[in-house]
Amino acid sequence: MVNLAKELRTRRDYARAESLNVLSRRFSLGAATGLGNATEMLLDQGKVNDAAAMAAPVGQISSWYSAYERIHVLYAQGEESAMRTLADSWFGTARG
């Protein structure tokens, strides 16, 4: 399903692609790919708040993938300080 959604995305058929990505979650409970892809599509459409809500459940599956999607959402929100904090937490460093 995720591959079909990816094809629809290249055709700019975002609504169908988003539906397939979300639906893929029902069939693959341990996979976050569909939700991550749906998050990115929402960002592509400028739906930042919806993307943030879509990215939230990714953390239940994979903390790394959740942080990866969160940094995209933070960028879209213009939250540079929060992006740096998140990036620093990945590498275990702090900026002074």
> To which H or E segment does residue 45 belong?
none
Domain range for 42: 2-91
Q: Does any domain span residue 27?
A: yes
Count up the domains in the chain and report the number.
1
Residue 95: the pLDDT is 52
Q: Is residue 85 part of a domain?
A: yes
Residue 96 located in a structural domain: no
Q: What is the pLDDT of residue 2?
A: 66
Listed in sequence order, the residues at least 6 apart from 86 whose beta carbon sits closer than 8 Å to its beta carbon are 67, 70, 71, 74
Domain CATH for 46: 1.25.40.10
Per the structure block, which two tokens stand in for 79?
A: 């939250």
Verdict on whether the full-model pTM lies above 0.75: no
Residue 21 lies in a domain: yes
Grade residue 76 by pLDDT with cuts at 50, 70 and 90: very high
pLDDT score of 93: 55
